[in-house]
Structure 1
Amino acid sequence: MPSAAVHGLFHIAIKTSDLDATRMFWCDIIGLRDMARPDFGYPGAWLACPQPGGLGIIHVYAGGPALGPAGTAPSGTAAIDHISLSCSGYREYIARFKAAGLDWREFLVPGTTLWQLFVYDPSGVQLELTFEGSVEGAIKPDMSPGRAYVAGASFFDFKTYPKLSSLKGVA
């Protein structure tokens, strides 16, 4: 019998009340792709990294077990502060966020060459996109008040979050 070992993160599961908007965020804005998903008897999606052989890293489910006692999916990241993806194309992501009407925050990781963008999905799950800044151009992240990311300070607001299901051609 093999010894116990972790081989990598298999997936993150997100509950949602708006499957279409969640799929649009993760696919059209972030750049993941739909992949085949087993029929569990309730709606959902498996979303994968676009590179060849990319695994389904985000599993989304709606209805059925996603619904709590009130009949809606919970929101926010709760005890999990955020999900982080390694990315490239820092300025392109900012352009996508602007086109979709999304709010975001920027950050320079102290003592490193890493740049980060923070944004929320339609269910209030915070996403961190991390970039190797040395290849992202000369314009550094905007660390001004109101644009700089502050750990623990949420900037998500359901009331002002854009209606992503009505957007077309963002990515």
Structure 2
Amino acid sequence: MIEIQRIHHVSLAVTDIEQAKNFYKDILCLEEIERPQFGFPGAWYQIGNQQLHLIVHPEAETLRATNELSSKEGHFAFRVKSYDETVRWLKEKGVEIYENPTSKSGFAQIFVADPDGNLIELNTEQ
């Protein structure tokens, strides 16, 4: 039997590391951490006890062909402290968002896409 303890990291393919780093640092306010020299560009971020790994791979099959926001496509979610503050911050930064404050999931949702179209949910308790 496999006993999964937690998610360690999520890896996302990106095409332009500097553009991606600007989004994850300046828009989502993530803390970049040291990354081993793998011989290809990327960046790692610490998020609580988990990590987000960005990998430059323009030919990746996982890149979405659109930045259209939808709650039905594959995505990962960050829990945020304040729904209203997060919406205000994203709008102030000019980020397109899809709001779902009364989701049937039981938590208020905000969806954004990074520069490569990777879909990210930001949520809080309703």
TM-score band, normalised by shorter chain: 0.7 to 0.9
One-letter amino acid of the structure 1 residue matched with residue 32 of structure 2 = D
Unaligned 5+ residue runs, structure 2? Answer: 67-72
Residues 29-79 of structure 1: per-residue CA shift (max 9 Å, x gap): 112110111110111100111xxxx345210011xxx132xxx8862289x
1:83-122 alignment to 2 at 5 Å? Answer: 83-107=76-100, 108-110=102-104, 112=106, 114-122=107-115
Distance 1:84 1:111, change over 3 A: closer
Correspondence 1:57 to 2:51: yes
Distance 1:31 1:5, change over 3 A: same
The answer as to 2:124 corresponding to 1:131 is: yes
Is the CA contact (8 Å cut-off) linking 2:7 and 2:50 kept in structure 1? Answer: no
Root-mean-square deviation over aligned CA pairs: 2.5
Q: Which structure 1 residue ranges, 4+ long, deviate > 3 Å from structure 2?
A: none
* Residues 37 and 111 (structure 1), Cα distance of their counterparts in 2 relative to 1, 3 Å cut: closer
Distance 2:10 2:39 in 1: 19
Question: Which structure has the larger Rg?
Answer: 1
Number of positions where the alignment pairs a residue of Structure 1 with one of Structure 2: 120
CA deviation vs aligned residue, 1:91-133 (integer Å, no higher than 9, x gap):
2222222222211011122273x21101101110111111023
TM-score (norm 1): 0.62
C-alpha distance 119-67 of structure 1, shift in aligned 2 (>3 A)? closer
Identity %: 26
> Which has the larger strand fraction?
2
Amino acid at match of 1:128: E
- Measured after TM superposition, the shift of residue 24 of structure 1 is 1.7
Gaps of 5+ in 1: 134-171
Q: Indicate if the aligned counterparts of 2:25 and 2:32 stay in contact, CA closer than 8 A.
A: yes
Q: CA separation in 2, counterparts of 1:59 and 1:11?
A: 7
Give the 3 Å change call, closer, same or farther, for CA 5–116 of structure 1 in structure 2.
Answer: same
Helix, strand or coil at the partner of 2:120: strand
